[in-house]
Amino acid sequence: MKRESPVFTLVGEATPGLGGLMRELKAVLEAKGYRYEENPDTPRLVLNQITAENPRPYRRKAQGTLVISFLETAQMPPDPIASLYPYLVRALSNQMVLYVPGEGAHFLTLELGHYLEPDGPGFAERVYERIRPIASSTLVVNNRFDPDLEPELWQGDELTRALSRAGAKLAEWDLLPAPFPIEEILSPEDLRHVKRLYGIGGLSYGNLSVRKDAKRFWMSASGVDKGNMREVGRDFLLVKDYDARENLMALSVPPGIEPRRVSVDAIEHWMIYREHPTVGAIIHVHAWMEEAPATQFNYPCGSYQLAEAVAEKVREAKDPSRAIVGLKNHGLTITGRSLDDILERIEGRLLKTVPMT
């Protein structure tokens, strides 16, 4: 059966310098097998052309649509992350590209990644290679909440209390940052749209989980204050499976509660726990350790491809139950036999600045 070409579209109005790049990038995408449509209902990829005066968002109709916003400027601002991150969020983008004619393209990601692709021969092709991991990713962000959690777990257990202690320790180390208050950046309407589309409660980096049994694990919820986790179904959730047919994570929750969604990295943790019975806990932080083996591509959080890439590096580790894996331009995923095991191994060894390449 022939596979359909992924559909992409361009929206917004290109500024003079950006127009040439977008024409070249469109040609590269078509040469790589993407199909351009002017007004598709649910495109795979959207190239959103914005201006500083009007960072207009593309309002997705489906979670499978990935948006990359492009902005042209005469020069790079002195503090690019602080200056440009609000535009990335306001434009509801998975990634933003700041184009400086004659200099190149600066890439900014939701994880605070920032790196430059210099102008010159083959520029559009190199820009495509930068955005390809996002353009080709499949997000696993949907959840199914089954009210089948055992009554004895409605108030948590020793494992959820261990998650609370570990979260408080990571917060004490300042490893769970929220880069910008999303509620102050987005309009109430756009904030509701983002929460509905991705099931987030805010921007809060990092997550942690602990194995419950052979098939299940407790994990921090998306967007919560991980330094103050207390409530089952709201602060941490019991993940019981990945439903490949529906492409969602299946969760057990207490009846009568309005649950938050689990962290978008649940698919990654699920893969690791299923393959390695000796892994008892996993922590993900936006920090770095020297000489950590790293994934090759900068896949977005919550994508099946990122989960596969991390699982491969854990598999290659000398001891998968105590692996340290670098996620390119993103952070670290660390496995351990327990949460305390991980915390003891990383204390005092983490670099808060993730290298961008």
Dump pLDDT digits (tens) for 194-248: 665 555 555 556 899 999 999 999 999 987 888 899 999 999 999 999 999 999 9
Where helices occur in 32-175 by DSSP H, the ranges are: 80-90, 123-135, 158-172
The per-residue pLDDT for 225 is 85
Structure token pair of residue 37: 């449509």
pLDDT in tens, 136-154: 888 898 999 999 999 999 9
Question: Distance between CA 74 and CA 77 in Å, rounded?
Answer: 9
For 232, phi and psi rounded to 5 degrees?
Answer: -70, 135
Percent of the chain with pLDDT over 90: 65
The per-residue pLDDT for 145 is 98
The per-residue pLDDT for 49 is 97
* Residues 6 or more apart in contact with residue 63 via CB below 8 angstroms: 139, 141, 142, 197, 198
354: left (phi over 0), alpha (psi -120 to 50) or beta: beta
* Rounded (5°) CA angle 13-195-248: 105
Which amino acid is present at 3?
A: R
Question: Distance between CA 111 and CA 191 in Å, rounded?
Answer: 18
Question: Distance between CA 30 and CA 343 in Å, rounded?
Answer: 47
Query: How many other CB atoms sit within 10 Å of the CB of residue 255?
Result: 11
The per-residue pLDDT for 192 is 72
DSSP result, 70-104:
EEE-SS--SSHHHHHHHHHHHTT-SEEEEEETTTE
Question: Distance between CA 11 and CA 92 in Å, rounded?
Answer: 13
Residue with the larger pLDDT of the pair 32 and 54: 32
The band of 24, judged by pLDDT with boundaries at 50, 70 and 90, is very high
Residue bearing tokens 């994990």: 219
Mean pLDDT of the chain: 90
What would the mean pLDDT of 320-339 be, rounded to a whole number? 95
The per-residue pLDDT for 2 is 43
Query: What pTM was computed for the model?
Result: 0.85
E strand or H helix at 34: none
The size of the chain, in residues, is 357
Cβ atoms of 57 and 92 within 8 Å: the answer is yes
Question: Distance between CA 53 and CA 71 in Å, rounded?
Answer: 10
Cβ atoms of 178 and 284 within 8 Å: the answer is no
**CA-closest candidate to residue 314, choices 285, 331, 334, 344:** 334
User: Lowest mean pLDDT: which of 8-17, 167-176, 304-313, 335-344?
Assistant: 167-176
Task: Specify which of 55-64, 81-90, 151-160, 294-303 reaches the highest per-range mean pLDDT.
Answer: 151-160
pLDDT in tens, 229-244: 999 999 999 999 999 9
Residue 318 has pLDDT above 80, yes or no: yes
Which amino acid is present at 215?
A: K
Query: How many other CB atoms sit within 10 Å of the CB of residue 5?
Result: 13
Question: Distance between CA 347 and CA 341 in Å, rounded?
Answer: 10
Question: Distance between CA 242 and CA 235 in Å, rounded?
Answer: 20
Question: Distance between CA 271 and CA 310 in Å, rounded?
Answer: 9
Residue with the larger pLDDT of the pair 196 and 20: 20
What would the mean pLDDT of 26-31 be, rounded to a whole number? 97
Where helices occur in the chain by DSSP H, the ranges are: 16-31, 80-90, 123-135, 158-172, 182-185, 188-198, 266-275, 304-316, 339-346
Percent of the chain with pLDDT over 70: 92
Question: Distance between CA 34 and CA 26 in Å, rounded?
Answer: 9
pLDDT in tens, 286-305: 889 988 999 988 888 889 99
The per-residue pLDDT for 197 is 56
For 336-353, give one letter per residue: b (16+ CB within 10 A) or e.
beebebbbeebeeebeee
User: Lowest mean pLDDT: which of 10-14, 80-84, 212-216?
Assistant: 80-84
Residue 178 has pLDDT above 90, yes or no: no
The band of 335, judged by pLDDT with boundaries at 50, 70 and 90, is very high
Residue 112 has pLDDT above 80, yes or no: no
The band of 1, judged by pLDDT with boundaries at 50, 70 and 90, is very low
Question: Distance between CA 287 and CA 352 in Å, rounded?
Answer: 4
Cβ atoms of 349 and 291 within 8 Å: the answer is no
